[in-house]
Amino acid sequence: MNAQRLRGLIRKEALQIVRDPSSIAIAFVMPLVLLLLFGYGVSLDARHVPIALVAERPSAQTSGFFSGFWRSPYFKAYGYPDMRDARRALMRRDVDAIVWLRSDFTRQVLRGASAPIGVIVDGVNANNARIIEGYVQGVWASWLAAQARERGQPLTLPVDIRSRVWFNPALRSHDYLVPGLIALIMTLIGALLTALVVAREWERGTMESLMASPATIPEILVGKVVPYFFLGMGGMILTVVMAITVFSVPFVGSLWLLFAAAALFLLTTLGMGLLISTIARNQFVAGMIAVVTTYLPAFILSGFIFDIHSMPWPIRLLTHTIAARYFVAILQTLFLAGNVWPVIGGNMAALGLIALLFLGLVARISRKRLD
């Protein structure tokens, strides 16, 4: 490898990045948009769930029971005089659930007998429905406890569950979504950008000039990898800083480890991008291949949003070929749990293997030939 030629190639690429607003946009604007979208827009928590409260015969007891819903941050409660109106509201999707206290609720409670509560949940969004069900039960349980305290009796339940949530005690979903996003953004910068810029060289005919110049294949490849490596790391730093400052995601692991893992992951996506560019010599095709083979799998199969353990086994097997899967695991661990070596070490090794495979493959199949 000749230092002068390599320097020339890297400088050329860097100048192009600076002059071309589209690569800057992909590296810095895209992460910003994605982060804001996921950070603020997408949340897997149910909050402010609109809920209809119906008491057929209002009393001190019914309003005592309902006060839990009015106060809860998870619900936005609406009172309805009867079931007919509440049903209609559910049909119109004004509310996601109805809590229904029958006319004999007060009498039963005062008698100390078991008082049935009607709960109707809109199950169209199954995930949301389950969460609502859980919240309603929570309100009910705390009401029971309050009742028991009032009467001076201990609440007797057959089993007492004391749950602790580790690593993300507040169960905030963007605490794990935002770290996952870093993997997504780096996939985009690494694979999409390199595939596109190499295809652009083919389209504009500059690749033919490079091929006919004394520059060797390793020089041309390294000349592409180095500038986009720095661009990708820049995008990563931006997302990490935003995650910690804007979205107050805790970061408990080591920053050095994060950089090391990110560097490895970036090499896999750069390798993938170059691999795509050896096949696709037109920007449109290169873009499509890059999105289908890297971005979408990173989105769906990395465990970034969808839990890998609940996938059927053939798909679970498939996720092992996706580099983003290992990086997402590392990111979520480093951000929320800390330097858990057994998790990080294995995943890093997998990333290194994939990077070696892709880059090796690219070096093997690239030739200074046009046929």
Site residues (vs other proteins, CB under 8 A): 2, 4-5, 7-9, 11-12, 15-16, 19-20, 201, 204-216, 368-371
Name the residue nearer to other proteins (CB basis): 94 or 208.
Answer: 208
Least distance from other proteins to the Cβ atom of residue 233, Å: 23
Name the residue nearer to other proteins (CB basis): 57 or 367.
Answer: 367
Name the residue nearer to other proteins (CB basis): 316 or 368.
Answer: 368
Name the residue nearer to other proteins (CB basis): 101 or 286.
Answer: 286
Instruction: Please report which helix (H) or strand (E) contains residue 244, including its range.
Output: helix 217-245
**Alpha carbon distance, N-terminus to C-terminus of the chain:** 24
DSSP secondary structure, 129-191, as one string: HHHHHHHHHHHHHHHHHHHHHHTT-PPP-SS-------S-TT--THHHHHHHHHHHHHHIIII
Q: Do 183 and 299 contact (CB within 8 A), yes or no?
A: no
Question: Phi/psi at 100 (nearest 5 deg)?
Answer: -125, 120
Least distance from other proteins to the Cβ atom of residue 195, Å: 18
Least distance from other proteins to the Cβ atom of residue 36, Å: 29
Residue that is written with structure tokens 């339940």 in the block = 157
Least distance from other proteins to the Cβ atom of residue 213, Å: 4
Name the residue nearer to other proteins (CB basis): 198 or 328.
Answer: 198
Instruction: Please report which helix (H) or strand (E) contains residue 99, including its range.
Output: strand 97-101
Least distance from other proteins to the Cβ atom of residue 7, Å: 6
Least distance from other proteins to the Cβ atom of residue 232, Å: 20
Name the residue nearer to other proteins (CB basis): 7 or 93.
Answer: 7
Residue that is written with structure tokens 């609109």 in the block = 50
Tally of CB atoms within 10 A around 303: 21
Least distance from other proteins to the Cβ atom of residue 368, Å: 7
**How far is it, in rounded angstroms, from Cα 299 to Cα 292?**
10
**How far is it, in rounded angstroms, from Cα 97 to Cα 90?**
7
**How far is it, in rounded angstroms, from Cα 354 to Cα 350?**
6
Name the residue nearer to other proteins (CB basis): 2 or 125.
Answer: 2
**How far is it, in rounded angstroms, from Cα 225 to Cα 10?**
9
Least distance from other proteins to the Cβ atom of residue 14, Å: 11
Find all residues with CB under 8 Å of 327, minimum gap 6, and list them: 183, 186, 261, 262, 265, 302, 347, 351
Name the residue nearer to other proteins (CB basis): 112 or 205.
Answer: 205
